[in-house]
Amino acid sequence: QTVKFFSLFVTDLATKVMWTLPKIWSRQLARPLMTGIQLMTGIRHPASDTSPTYDEGGVKLHQVEGSLLQNPRTEYRSVRKYQGKVKAVILDWAGTVLDCGVYSPAVVFVDVFENEGVPITMEEARGPMGAHKKVHIRKITYIDSVRLRWKEKFGRYPDESDVERMFANFVPMQLACLSSYTKMIPGAVDTVKYLQKVMGLKIGSTTGFTTEMVDILKEAAQEEGYCPDSSVAADEVPQARPFPYMVWLNAIRLDVNPVEAIVKVDDTVDGIREGTSAGCWAVGLAETGNYVALNEEEILALTDDDYERKLERSYNILADAGAHYVINTICDLPPVLEDINRRLASGEKP
C-alpha cells in the first residue's frame, strides 16, 4: 500500500510538473520519470492509462489525460453577463389580465365532475390551476378525497380513460361559457400600454387554455384594447406548465434574448415555475388570481381581516413557488420591472 501510494503521489506530481514547465522540458523530464516509476512498481496512474480501445467500426480511440483539460497558462476566465434591461414581459391570461378570480375554468371543472356523478368542491377544482386543462383534470383525479368519492360511485379509482373522456367533455363546455368571463382586470389594459409604449417592452402570453380557447380570449381582449405581441397556447408545445416551453416559444416569436431579459407574470404555482424553469424572472399576482379566488365585487365585500388573511395566504403560496416578487395586481408591475433593471445592471441573474 505504501509503494502504491508513493507511486501515485510521484506520478501525479510529475504530471503537474509536465504541464507547468515549458512543453519541451516537460516531455524530457516528467514523462520519463512517470514511465520509470510505473515500470518499477507495476502500478499505472489512472490518468496515464493509454491502453488502446476501439469503437464499433474498429477505429482506434485515444484516451485524453485529465490534465489536458487544464490551461495553466491562463489564470482567469471571462464570464459573459447580461447587464441590459428587461426586454419582454410574458403574461398569463385568467387572473392576470382578465377574469379576476379565475372563474372560467374552475366552474367548468366542477360541472364536468358533477356530470360524472362525482361532485368536487371549488377548492379541489382550483388546486392544479395553471396546467394544461387535460393535465388539470388528471391532477384532480389524483386528489385523495376525489379518488375516494369516485371509488364509492364506480367501485374503482379513476384512470386515464376517464381523464380523456372528461377532457373531451370539458372542451365544448369551456368554449361555450368562456366569453362570459373575459372582463379585463381594472388597470390591466393601461398598464400593458405603459409597458409597451413608455418602457418599450414586448408583451407575450402563455396559458393553460388550448388554441381555440385562446382565440376567444384574444378577440374579447382586443375589443378592450389589450393586444399582446405574441401568444402561445398550451397545445402548441410538447408539455405546458410548469415546463418552460411556452416561455421559450414566446421568446422565439418575439425575437428576445437572453432569457434573463424576460419577466414572467402569473397568478398560479405552475405559472411561476414555468418562468423559473425557463430561466427568467417570475412575478406572482396575489390579489386577482387563483388563491384569493374572488372577483372584484367579492373582494370589495370582504372585511379587512378576511381580505388580509386571503391575501397573505396567496402571497405565501406564490413566494413558496419561487416567485422573485409577489405583488397585488398587474398595476403594481412597473416599479418591479425598474428594480429588475437595477439588478440586471449590477450583474444579477434570476
Of the candidates 200, 340, 191, 194, the residue with the CA atom closest to the CA atom of residue 275: 340
Report how far apart the first and last C-alpha atoms of the chain are (Å, whole number).
Answer: 50
Number of Cβ atoms within 10 Å of the Cβ of 222: 11
* Per-residue CA distances from 190 to 91, 93, 226, 340 (Å): 14, 16, 9, 21
Under 8 Å between Cβ of 188 and 203 = no
Verify whether residue 159 is a known catalytic residue. Answer: no
Q: Classify 94 in phi/psi space as left (phi over 0), alpha (psi -120 to 50) or beta.
A: beta
Q: 87, 92, 99, 134: which one is catalytic?
A: 92
Q: Are strands 325-327 and 281-285 parallel, antiparallel or unpaired?
A: parallel
Torsion sign over Cα 9, 15, 16, 21: positive
* Location of C-alpha cell 432569457: 259
Verify whether residue 92 is a known catalytic residue. Answer: yes
- Whether the ω angle into residue 52 lies within 30 degrees of 0, i.e. cis, is no
For 86-135, the three-class secondary structure string (H helix, E strand, C coil) is CCEEEECCECCCECCCCHHHHHHHHHHHHHCCCCCCHHHHHCCCCCCHHH
Rg of the chain, C-alpha, whole Å = 29
Q: 133, 202, 264, 310: which one is catalytic?
A: 133
Of the candidates 73, 75, 125, 72, the residue with the CA atom closest to the CA atom of residue 102: 125
Under 8 Å between Cβ of 282 and 266 = yes
276/309 Cα distance (integer angstroms): 27
Q: Is 291 helix (H, G, I), strand (E, B) or coil?
A: coil
Q: What positions carry a catalytic annotation?
A: 92, 133
